[in-house]
Structure 1
Amino acid sequence: MFNPTPISFPPSSPVRLGYPPAESLTAKLAYAELHTLQAVKYIKPEEFLETYLQGYYDHFTQWSPEEISFVSDIQQVNRSEDMYTGDAPLLRLLNQISKRIFESRGHREALIFRSADQLKVFNPFTGRDFSPDLVALWEHPQGQDFPQIDYTQDFPIPPTWCAFAAVGEAKTGGNGKNQLGVYLKNHLQLHPELNAVLGLGVNKTDYALCYHDADVIDRSVFNWKQPGPLYAFIKKLYTRPFRDTSMHLIAPQNPDLAWVIKVGNHIYISQAPRSLAGPGQRRFTTPAIEIDTGVRVFIKDIWWNVERAFLEGLLFEQAHREWALPGLMVVDSHGFVLDENRERLTTAGPDRGRHKMRLVTKDIGRPLETVRSLRQFLCVMYDACVVQRNLYRKCRILHRDISDSNIMVAPAGDEYHKRCEGTGSHVEVKFVNQVLQKDGKEPDPAPECMVIDLGNGADLKIARKNDELTDRTGTPKFIARSVSSGELLESDDYSSENVSLPSPPEIRDYVHRMHTTEYQRDIPPTPNSTAQPEAKFAHQLFHDAESTFWVIVWTLVRSTSGNREEKRHTKEYKEFYHTMCRHYPQPGEEDDRASVLRKSLKYWTSLLHPGLKKMAPMLRGMIFYVWPEWGRSQALNPEHVHEALMRLLLVEIIKLDSNDIVLDIGARSAPLASLCTLPLRQFWFPLN
């Protein structure tokens, strides 16, 4: 890897649709999603061959007599399963081609196509299983000859996507392109060491070849008079294409998946890896151990879109330049992943639209679920606000993806806080340990949190063709409402009239310690004097504050304190819980989360577990200030929403100093979803 060089910055991308994560979708809904997204794209046969099978489309222009017989049998089947069971003409054809290629090149392993329609292939990252009609497996022959295949016997196939070289689907009616598309997504998700995978779709009249990477699912169709493309497909598989040679899968059939990863001169082995499917933001993340030293690190691989303006590693570098910014993760190495020719690994399309990047850090935070007291949680949220504000003040960088996974508890041990020594004079917004210190010598920052992931970050100092940060970024549950819809909220419904910055008497003796210079108490004017008709939507700092609010609410609502038992869940809790779970941003549509929010104390009390009802006044105070559309009030201090949240958090932190309570995050039972709370998309999505 090497550090990336500066690049030109294109305009922001437009707001795009949001859809549920794969783990929330049944098989039919997964196929339907690809149909709705039109994710499987048809491209011309010559373009497919030139782009993805270049150099492998050669002299096989005619079927052999035996192959002609297999093709004829395929064209005459009555049921799709007759292609790969019984006489299995499709499997015989594919394995005959594989045999010819094996014998012509002297390969050590043979590629065997087998039926898998009775197999449930499990994806450990989504918890879902699927049954592709056929799969290609690598098998070691006995001696030098291609293995003999008994098509009357079932062959034990490992039920893991990691064991397959390719997958396929057969149909007598329709083309099954979305079904195969879902299989390809699962296949590539379980192969982060591959840049792409190939697939095969077959019906009686033609066959289709598919290619899937972080950018596309491309498909092209060929008739049965064209043997060349099918030969090229299998020849390409024999080369074991699209490999990232810096990664190797250990024991593909082992349920405990692990990869060996080489970064420069360091070799790591993954622990509890996670992989996110494409197309789109394909990524692989894992804690890892350096084999030689035992040092623990965290590794993140992404496929960076060349249309994106900012590089995550460079944003982290800038944030820590001259002095380390307390509370923000430090990156130890980052850069583009290179192939054996020292060229960047890219997607294979004509525009090479995505490049593989890798980031390594020794900062390993702890998830919010490790918090065991209410006071600690509130301190973590307070300090997360501090980090966002100091990042903005120092570098004019916005995070743009505040979530319950990107706000972590500070790492265990002294090293994390040791690097904060001597930074107190640089930090303008003070951490909670500094604010609570009695007047006298100010302590060094001791952040309770660690903020991670600047993958969606934005540097506001960069001159761009389009100054408006209009792309929809964030995690669906926590994304700010106007960012979710891609436009300003209606001024009549989200007015700031009669809304002022909280000034609770409980923090009167602490406010002066919250900043290097006391915060200027801007009292927001009414919309009549601040409304700017020309104001347009753009991602601003207060949107990250709203995301922090959603993290606070979502965490507290799902948590318990003391006795976990509840006689029954309130209607308000049920509605809020399922509305949050099913929220997927849609451009131009009102945020459905707003429909379940109220400003009454009774409402916020009804949301919380009985042991946490004391938090209702704080949440009510927060929604009063978060509710307005602040994008129409350009004259305000950019940090004013963060300031409001911090003041309300500080009130409760002070109260809990001598009366803390246990907090069990995520321990509250999930309410059952009634029919009326299920997403409508489950009923009207097309299923073909």
Structure 2
Amino acid sequence: MSDRTVRLQSSPVKATKPPPNTRREMTSTHLPKGSLVPNPEFCQIFLNNHDDLEALSADAELLALALAFRDSTKTDYAMVEQLLNHMCRKIHGNYVFFLSIAPLTMLVIVENICPKVEPLAFRTNSRYTPAYHPNGIETGRPDLICALASIIAMLDLDSRKRMPWHLVLSAIEEKQASDSRAGAGQCGAYLACGNQSRPDLVGMYGLSVSPLGYQIQYSCSAGLTTSEEFDWGDVIGLLRPSKDPSITLASTDNIFRPPTWNIDVGNKIYNNCRVTFVGQPWTRMTWVVKSRGDEPKSPIMIKDTYRDARTRFKEGEMYEILHREGTVPGFAAVEREYEVEYAPGCPITVSINDCTRIKTRLIMQTCGRPLTKCKNIVDFFKGMYDILEAHRFMFSERKLLHRDISHGNIVVDAQDATGIVPFTGEKRPVYINEVLTGKARADPMARLIDMDNCANLDKSRVMAKGEDTDDKPLRYCTGTPKFISRSVTLGEILKNSEFVGMPALRPEIVEKYLQVYHDDTSEMRKFSDDDTTTHGGHLSKKLQKAYKDNNALRSAHYEHQPRHDAESVYWCIVVFVLLAKPLNNDEDNNIKGLCDIWSNIAEHEVGKIQDSRMSLLQMNYWPLCLHEDLSFIGPLMEDLSEQVGPEWALLTPAPKPLHLHEAMQRLILNHVHHWECQNLNVELDTVTPRSYPREERKQMAPGKHYPIHGQVLSGRKRANSTEREESGAKRQHRINTKALKGSTSSASVLPSLSLFPTRSDEKIPCSLELSSAMFDDSDVLEVNASARVLENSCNIDRRQPTVSELQRYADPKDLDPSWKEDTGISESLVISPKPTIRKRASNLSTANPKLPVIPEYAPGANHAKY
């Protein structure tokens, strides 16, 4: 029976659900399992011992403050702030500030425990959400935050009083005695946001306090761990988040604006790098930036990953194999990969429980635009042909299997840096434009990136020391759920047995096809079925009978095959064409067809008994689900579905490994050739996709702008946040005023539901997981700007609001066509052609021996202690 547990050489499946959009979501559903269980060894593993701790704990004033908080009966942020800042003064010494035209400076008057470190300070923050989370999360308010004392002082000069996430060093959550158990979970969610926003910190500490006691937490890519609850009379330890010395915050005139980062890669420092992607906390937490160097035509993307020490295949090694004869067209160009060190010979390593992660950096010399930026439907299908061709090259020439083809791992309009090593091999991939036009060495229309889950199938390679030769990585589930193949999702052989033959090429392009692929070794370019075969085989009644009621046998015989990656390309096509919308054409008479089938994709989860996407493969009404202008691609979708649907493992003899690639490429080539001959093409809207009314998840409070990882969600305006901050008298006055108008509730004074749809009626665009794709800066701006065009979410049968209603109920900013939110988006991307009610969009085993935990790092770094 197939072993589905995580073993040393496995690669995990990506998260099935969209990432958490709010702090509350993360607290309730996304905290690592067991992370809130008290760890009795926390102090010995995660805290530093210091000779002066005994003197600190004996400080009379400190003890008095602690006991006073213990005896308190209500929430008192000021008391906690006073307690923690008193500790800081004892540790760092008393300090004074000098404000002048020059940047704020600080003098340490008294040197005590930690004289070489810039002092820290704590500040009450319960009314403000920290700003500039890289994924756009705009909810959650840590009760107190910790930052450098100089920054805390500068915060008083900022009119908004909002501390950016990239300046936060720690988060503190205060609870009353009655709900003290909820504090650790809430604090853990804040630490996750801190991990994502502080690439220069390896981990972050947090504190949950109540009159009953306090708990210390540590969060990093390896997970989250929580201490036992300490009494306020106990010694208060020193906390120190370790830093990555190679990453520093870029200098700026305004530290409270979105951050850019300086990255030292050893032989060069890339300045002012802009974040384009950040992964989820407590995983490998991929972090991708684009360099803003002096050479704009030489793009550099830097990808940092906390790689699991148990991972069998390293991404950099896969690229080395792939590009051993120079940079292969169709993939990202790579300079090098290395382990990030905090000192010579000492890689940055984090360990929690049985998980150990090593920080790894990949420097790429390619950037591109997301697949959703394809400008027309013909170019899209050309790109899909080329992705299949690139994958064929990986498998046939390099014995590599990608195992994670998805929208996020495909880019278009890619650019390479100058000076990359050209491909010198004899068997260069041949892409579709070379077949159609005869132009030699034509560039690919799309590129396949991200080798995180790639597997090396070369049995002749030298095995690494300690590598388990009996492990079979092709039997593990890995990939992105929306695009993962059905067999990989279930981890077993399927039962589908409705086979179709290998499609034939159009007579007018057969000769071109055979000519450009004359040296192909897959034995598939010239293949054709006879009258009795399908893809060269026959249905085996013996296998069909053996598999029918034997799940264990189907699971035992399953392993990841090249055809499963080809099926992932099919699901990429399905998602794209269903949401594709022609440019300048918002009228959509087939929206009902989309609504009927979209939930089958959106609700697909890995681990369920049945794959909800199965029904799409038997669908024979594709033109009714696509936009009317794209109905001509319906026959191609039906043909592709027929090829992808069957379980080809039921044939005897088994088809060649690349048979499904061949079938899909022939179908695409036939139709693209026909469309070009007929001048049949449709320009696409690359900003706003078709919308669908069903939500993929419960919506929470909204964020301010589009998240950079591509998760698109919507939510209500934060009207209640105003009510929470009002005084009692002011709130009562507002309620009385509404009552005079004939209403006693804030809800009843709103227009009828025929004008303002409820949250369940809102239409939101597709939620696509974009991994570390190398996007241009302009793409990020376009994605952010897309939130502005999600205004048309009311059903078409609802009446439009009158001008007087808009003026009465809408935000004045929404009625001003010249208004533009200060997000760095160019004016040309701000769309407000008519008065609309603004809707905001948001996103939000067997273990190796533990590697050594990072010791104290170089003096002069910004340590966080309390």
- Common fold: TM-score over 0.5: yes
Q: 2:37 pairs with 21, 26, 42, which one?
A: 42
Counterpart-to-counterpart distance in 1, 2:590 and 2:210: 51
Asked if residue 630 in structure 1 is aligned to residue 648 in structure 2, the reply is yes
CA–CA distance in structure 1, aligned partners of residues 353 and 281 of structure 2: 18
Partner of 1:3 in structure 2? Answer: none
CA contact (8 A) 1:397 1:458 kept: yes
Q: Does 2:87 match 1:89?
A: no
CA contact (8 A) 1:380 1:449 kept: yes
Q: How far 1:329 sits from its partner (Å)?
A: 1.8
Q: Are residues 1:135 and 2:145 paired?
A: yes
Q: 1:329 to 1:530 in 2, by over 3 A?
A: farther
Following superposition, the deviation at residue 215 of structure 1 comes to 0.7
- Structure 1 contact 206–224 (Cα < 8 Å) conserved: yes
Give the deviation of 1:267 after TM superposition: 1.1
**How far apart in 1 are the matches of 2:118 and 2:69?**
27
Bigger mean CA offset, 276-285 vs 629-638: 629-638
* Alpha-carbon distance between aligned partners in 1 of 2:288 and 2:693, rounded to the nearest angstrom: 32
1:641 aligns with 2:660: yes
Residues 19-57 of structure 1, C-alpha deviations (whole Å, 9 max, x = no match): 4233x534332211135x525243533x21222113348
Matches within 5 A, 1:88-487: 88-103=78-93, 104=112, 105-106=114-115, 109-122=118-131, 123-140=133-150, 157-172=161-176, 173=179, 174-228=181-235, 230-233=236-239, 236=240, 241-250=241-250, 251=252, 253-269=255-271, 270-290=273-293, 295-349=298-352, 353-412=356-415, 419-420=422-423, 423=425, 425-427=426-428, 430-437=430-437, 443-462=440-459, 464-487=469-492
Which residue of structure 2 aligns with residue 5 of structure 1? none
The CA deviation at 1:665 is: 5.1
Aligned residue identity for 2:172: G
In the alignment, the residues of structure 1 paired with residue 324 and residue 630 of structure 2 have an alpha-carbon distance, to the nearest angstrom, of 41
Q: Equivalent residue of 2:453, what SS? A: coil
Of residues 561-570 and 215-224 in structure 1, the stretch that sits farther from structure 2 once superposed is 561-570
Name the structure 2 match of 1:65: 60
The residue aligned with 1:25 is 21
Distance 1:316 1:414, change over 3 A: closer
Amino acid paired to 2:210: N
Render the CA deviation track for 1:467-518: whole Å, top value 9, x for unaligned.
24233222222111222233333x1xx22x3322222546544552463343
Letter in 1 for 2:691: P
Residue 181 of structure 1 and its aligned partner are, at CA, apart by 1.3
- Give the match's secondary structure for 2:324: coil
2:670 is matched with: 651
SS at match of 1:125: coil
Contact 2:595–2:692 (CA<8 Å) still a contact in 1?
yes
> Counterpart of 2:90 in 1: which secondary structure?
helix
For the pair 1:77 / 2:72, whether they are aligned, the reply is yes
1:356-391: per-residue Cα shift (whole Å, max 9, x none)?
111112122333244322222111111110000011
SS at match of 1:477: coil
Contact conserved, 1:10 with 1:309, CA < 8 A, in 2?
no
Q: Give the AA of the match of 2:402.
A: H
Contact 1:268/1:291 (<8 A) preserved: no
Aligned to 1:591: 611
Distance of aligned partners of 1:256 and 1:140 in 2 relative to their CA distance in 1, 3 Å threshold: closer
What is the CA–CA distance in structure 2 between the aligned matches of 1:391 and 1:168, rounded to whole Å?
Answer: 49
Q: 1:635 to 1:248 in 2, by over 3 A?
A: same
- TM, length-normalised to structure 2: 0.68
TM-superposition CA deviations, 1:330-360 (whole Å, max 9, x none): 2111111111233111114476711111111
* Paired residues of 2:36 and 2:185 also in contact (CA < 8 A): no
Matched, 1:605 2:623: yes
- What's the offset of the Cα at 1:318? 0.6
Aligned counterpart for 1:576 among listed residues 592, 597, 603: 597
The alignment partner of 1:168 has SS state of strand
Aligned residues of 2:38 and 2:227 also touching (Cα < 8 A) = yes
d(CA) in 1 for partners of 2:8, 2:151: 54
Distance 1:175 1:64, change over 3 A: farther
Question: What residue number does 1:538 align with?
Answer: 559
1:450-474 Cα deviation digits (max 9, x unpaired): 2111111000125732224233222
Q: 1:52: which partner in 2?
A: 46
SS of the residue aligned with 1:365? strand
Match among 484, 488, 497 for residue 493 of structure 2: 488
Aligned partner of 2:778 in structure 1 is none
- Which moved further from structure 2: 470-479 or 569-578? 569-578
Change (3 A) 1:417 1:137: closer
Alpha-carbon separation, structure 2, partners of 1:356 and 1:15? 18
Q: 5+ unaligned residues in a row in structure 1: which ranges?
A: 1-8, 683-688
CA contact (8 A) 1:499 1:524 kept: no
Counterpart-to-counterpart distance in 2, 1:141 and 1:182: 23
Q: Which has the higher contact order (CA 8 A, sep 6+)?
A: 2
Pair 1:640–1:130, CA change in 2 (3 A):
same
1:211 counterpart SS class: strand
Distance 1:572 1:202 in 2: 53
The superposition leaves residues 169-225 of structure 1 with CA deviations (integer Å, 9 ceiling, x where unpaired) of 111212322211110110110001111110001122121100011111000123225
Q: Could you tell me how far 1:291 is from its partner in structure 2? A: 5.5
Q: Structure 2, unaligned stretches of length 5 or more?
A: 1-5, 94-111, 464-468, 529-534, 548-552, 701-866
The structure-2 alpha-carbon separation of the partners of 1:636 and 1:353, relative to structure 1 and needing over 3 Å to count, comes to same
Amino acid at match of 1:560: K
> After superposition, where does 1:540-555 map in structure 2 within 5 Å?
540-555=561-576
Q: Percent same amino acid at aligned positions? A: 24
Q: Which amino acid aligns with 2:427?
A: H
CA offsets 1:127-180 (integer angstroms, 9 cap, x no match): 3321111111212399xxxx9x99xx9997433211211101111212322211
CA 1:227–1:474 in structure 2 vs 1: closer, same or farther (change >3 Å)?
same
Please report the TM-score for the alignment, with normalisation by the length of structure 1. Answer: 0.84
Report the secondary structure of 2:228's partner residue: strand
Secondary structure, counterpart of 2:388 in structure 1: helix
Cα distance in 2 between the residues matched to 1:413 and 1:356? 25
Choose which of 523, 541, 551 in structure 2 pairs with 1:528: 541
RMSD: 3.3
Contact 2:220–2:281 (CA under 8 A) maintained in structure 1: yes
CA separation in 1, counterparts of 2:12 and 2:323? 30
Q: Which is worse superposed, 346-355 or 506-515? A: 506-515
User: Structure 1 residue 639: deviation in Å?
Assistant: 0.9
Deviations 1:58-116 (A, max 9, x none): 4258453323332233223333xx220xxx22222111111110121335633111111
